[in-house]
Structure 1
Amino acid sequence: MAEPVDRARIAAAVRELLSAIGSDPDSAELASTPARVADAYAEFFAGVGDDPVRHLADAVPVGDDTGELVMLRDIELRSVCEHHLLPFRGVAHIAYRPGRRIVGLSALPKVVDTLAARPQVQERLGQQIVDALDAGLAPEGVLVVLEASHGCVADRGVRQAGAVTVTVASSGTLSSPEARGEVMAFIGGASARALADGGAA
């Protein structure tokens, strides 16, 4: 797959940005900054145009002895808010009830990484993870809980450095309050317990 970003254009844009804020992009301190930012953006936005469902292609059939629930907690998450192009980071908790197939656990962080590596909002990211698992595995139900701190909240405006945003997305059998409450109990934490009781973040 071709790289989605044009590093030369990013570098040129960064030079213009530095000039626009009154700095000299040709100074010794800043001369390498445009190229460095271009390299960073190539990493931050590597998921643009990439299909996360491809990570689920190696799913295998399961039998009656598979169990009722698969969960992977505390998947490290890093993305960039599309509103201010500032980072947000935290963890993702993913649970699904298998249908006819399961996938290796390492595939789940890959799905998260692909979808997070593009301009995002946390609320949409959670739903996109659910949609990818539904498309790739056809499970009976999916629940995704994201907990993240946002640069646009911590570093500008209200400057609430300790604030954490919690979002929930679900499908199928894990959309009911009872099923969600059971999974939230496994996830643990005050925010999860509040959500299990019907609250919202």
Structure 2
Amino acid sequence: MKVGVVTFPGTLDDVDAQRAVRVAGHEPVSLWHGDHDLAGVEAVILPGGFSYGDYLRCGAIARFAPIMTEVVAAAERGMPVLGICNGFQVLVESHLLPGGLLRNDHRRFICRDQRLRIENVATPWTSAYAQDQEIVVPLKNGEGQYVADAETIARLEGEGRVVARYVEGNPNGSMNDIAGIANERGNVVGLMPHPEHAVDALTGAGTDGLGFFRSLGGVLA
């Protein structure tokens, strides 16, 4: 299947995301922030980085990029959309996901391998995992603290929309150790850690992240 990977000014991990898509057996399609169509893709990834220099707030300017008009409309029609790190920030700024992402509670950038528990395997991005499977993927962020009001947190937990949760230590102060969430329909997922950096054993990070990209074929084939 064709999977679009969006590049904004300041995006860093678009090539990594494209490679992960390719390793998973799909066709990556490069999408530019100024594009006005999605070039016939069947899913979209918003990769990590510092879109528009993280000015105002992380993801706040990217929300208004022409391509995001198309991404929001496609997501509302049910297209699978994955936001990784900065992409997660763009998704919350675009109101495709609830809550917000603040500066890490310890006020420092963090970069390390992080253990996660996959708690929702019913999304197009996680179906290749077993329920409650633990994986290790790289984490690198300065504004990764997920926050939301009490009602939103209760709804996410009650509806099973916490996709991934930090285990063996909370790296950034995220409420309820939340590392990733899904929208009500389940097609839109935001994830702070970086599965695209863990798709090839040759890189030293293992292959635990590959399931996010292989899942697409299983759900949509």
If the length of structure 1 is used for normalisation, what is the TM-score? 0.26
Greater RCO between the two (CA within 8 Å, min separation 6)? Answer: 2
TM-score (norm 2): 0.24
Larger radius of gyration: 1
